[in-house]
Amino acid sequence: MATVRDAVGGVQSVLVLGGGSDLALATVRRMVADRCHTVVLAARHPDRLEGELAALRGAGAATAESVSFDADDVTSHQKVVDDVFARHGDIDLVLLAFGVLGDQDNFDHDPVAAAAAATTNFVGGVSAGLAVAGQLRAQGHGTLVVFSSVAGVRVRADNLVYGATKAGLDGFASGLSDRLAGTGARVMVVRPGFVHSKMTDGMDPAPFATTPEAVADAVLDGLRRGSEVVWAPPALRLVFGVLRLVPRPVWRRLSAR
């Protein structure tokens, strides 16, 4: 089937893996306002998204549905993704948005919980990402947007497990982007800093804290430009360019709690 991007390049169909994500939903709302007509939210509890789906239909989406998806159940990923592509024929954009933050103080004493977070954030991302990549390659177009994090750019001692999972996911997504070169399918890596969302509820904001709506704007801008990496807010690119170079003993002091 031919590409369904409209004449001005807008996204017309989107699948979200981690369909309840505040960052992904803010992005999808922007896309529906911009004439995206098909939305599939894949989530652990699809029934909890009825209100969101109704709002998306009210905002103009012709099709807005939820399907069951568990990032930890890697054996199910190919089928979930294949079913969505088979039912809708063509998907312009897939947001890989699931993730858990966890608490490093707990992880220090609970390696099993740490491994579970790594399974969700990294192992699930690898499996779901490859399932999506196969479909995008087959249709010859489309973009996979992977929500990484600045936490993976230089891993902090006080956020060790989460940061390491994001470093792994970021590396996977960047390599996948190279592997898909020339196929028409693309990967865009998004590296937000601290964003006010369910994930960070009750936490003290970090410097450069931002909103899901601002991240959505950065994602849409990145898609329009054909960017491979998006920082949200954009100033974090420069900040982390410097932080990457900070000598290890200084970084150790900065990132310990």
Give the C-alpha distances (Å, rounded to integers) separating 16 from 39, 45, 108, 181, 192: 8, 13, 32, 23, 17
Q: Which is nearer to ligand NAP, 18 or 222 (CB)?
A: 18
Q: Is residue 121 within 8 Å of 100, Cβ to Cβ?
A: yes
Min separation Cβ 184 and ligand NAP, Å: 26
Question: Binding-site residue total for ligand NAP (CB under 6 A)?
Answer: 26
Of 13, 15, 16, 22, the residue at the interface with ligand NAP (CB under 6 A) is: 22
> Which residues is 187 bridged to in the sheet?
144
Binding mask 113-132 for ligand NAP (x = CB under 6 A): -------x------------
**Single-letter amino acid code for the residue at 70:** D
Residues 209-248 that bind ligand NAP (CB under 6 A): none
Give the C-alpha distances (Å, rounded to integers) separating 214 from 26, 43, 124, 193, 219: 9, 23, 26, 11, 9
Q: Is residue 148 within 8 Å of 219, Cβ to Cβ?
A: no
Q: Which is nearer to ligand NAP, 99 or 222 (CB)?
A: 99
Of 6, 34, 70, 217, the residue at the interface with ligand NAP (CB under 6 A) is: 70
Residues 84-103 that bind ligand NAP (CB under 6 A): 97-100
The answer to whether the peptide bond before residue 205 is cis (omega within 30 degrees of 0) is no
The structure tokens 């199910």 sit at 76
- Residue 172 touches ligand NAP, criterion: CB under 6 A: no
Structure tokens of 97? 């948005």
Helix (H) or strand (E) segment spanning residue 57: helix 50-58
- Residue 185 touches ligand NAP, criterion: CB under 6 A: no
Residues noted as catalytic: 162
- Residue 46 touches ligand NAP, criterion: CB under 6 A: no
| Dist. CA 58–CA 32, nearest whole Å | 10
- Residue 195 touches ligand NAP, criterion: CB under 6 A: yes
Min separation Cβ 131 and ligand NAP, Å: 14
DSSP 144: E
| Dist. CA 149–CA 146, nearest whole Å | 10
Give the interface segment with ligand NAP, choosing from 33-41, 82-90, 132-140, 187-195 (CB under 6 A): 187-195
- Residue 71 touches ligand NAP, criterion: CB under 6 A: yes
Closest-approach residue to ligand NAP (CB): 99
The footprint of ligand NAP (CB under 6 A) covers 18, 20-23, 43-45, 69-72, 97-100, 120, 147, 149, 192, 194-195, 197-200
